[in-house]
């Protein structure tokens, strides 16, 4: 079994990274509430969970008390499961530009100020970032460069990463 905890800055590319993980065979749960990590861990320990590769995606949308996540990570390590924390990051300027291009507000921008929201999010995620096993900075990445990096880090050599085409002919 292999667990990834995918987290990081809003607007840095977590959604795209999640899609790429699904493409290489990960079972992904996006926007997992922090309080559910301990429940998920208990269910996992007492079930026949069959997915070999699982990615649990969370960020500040799920709350700001990460203690349940930290306990989950320790519990999984205690029972011998492989677990990696992956932090997707990006420069503030690039995040601001991405929100501007999409005409969206940052999830913490209740007052409409994306700059303050990004600063607040950095503070809330600072400890989690220091605990991360892998930090991917997408500041200079295209979406395809992110995919290449995700596949390189978490895919296996025998997995196909190109376009899959099914051709069906009717006579």
Rg of the Cα atoms in the chain: 17
Question: In Å, what is the CA distance from 102 to each residue of 95, 141, 142, 150?
Answer: 11, 17, 16, 24
Confidence of residue 2 (pLDDT cuts 50, 70, 90): confident
pLDDT digits (tens, 9 = 90+) for 145-160: 999 999 999 987 555 4
pLDDT of 162 higher than 80: no
pTM score: 0.85
Residue among 82, 86, 96 nearest 1 (CA):
82
Task: Supply the DSSP symbol for 110.
Answer: T
Mean pLDDT of 72-95: 91
Mean pLDDT of 72-82: 87
Task: Supply the DSSP symbol for 68.
Answer: H
pLDDT digits (tens, 9 = 90+) for 45-66: 777 666 678 899 998 888 778 8
Mean pLDDT of 28-38: 88
Number of Cβ within a 10 Å radius of residue 128: 19
pLDDT of 42 higher than 70: yes
Residue among 41, 34, 42 nearest 69 (CA):
34
Give one DSSP letter per residue of 127-162, joined into a string.
HHHHH-SEEEE-TT--HHHHHHHHHHHHS-TTS--S
Mean pLDDT of 106-127: 90
Question: In Å, what is the CA distance from 165 to each residue of 63, 123, 139, 151?
Answer: 41, 45, 32, 19
């Amino acid at each position: 079994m292999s667990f990834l905890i995918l987290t990081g800055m809003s607007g840095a590319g977590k959604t795209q990274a999640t899609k790429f993980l699904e493409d290489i065979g990960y079972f992904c749960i996006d926007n997992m509430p922090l309080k559910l990590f301990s429940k998920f861990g208990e269910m996992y320990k007492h079930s026949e969970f069959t997915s070999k590769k699982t990615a649990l995606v969370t960020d500040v949308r799920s709350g700001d008390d990460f203690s349940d996540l930290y306990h989950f990570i320790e519990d999984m390590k205690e029972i011998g499961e492989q677990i990696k924390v992956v932090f997707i990051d990006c420069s503030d300027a690039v995040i601001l530009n991405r929100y501007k291009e999409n005409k969206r507000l940052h999830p913490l921008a209740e007052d409409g100020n994306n700059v303050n929201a990004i600063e607040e999010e950095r503070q809330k995620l600072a400890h989690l970032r220091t605990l991360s096993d892998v930090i991917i900075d997408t500041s200079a990445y295209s979406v395809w460069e992110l995919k290449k990096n995700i596949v390189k880090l978490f895919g296996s050599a025998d997995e196909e990463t190109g376009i899959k085409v099914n051709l069906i002919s009717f006579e």
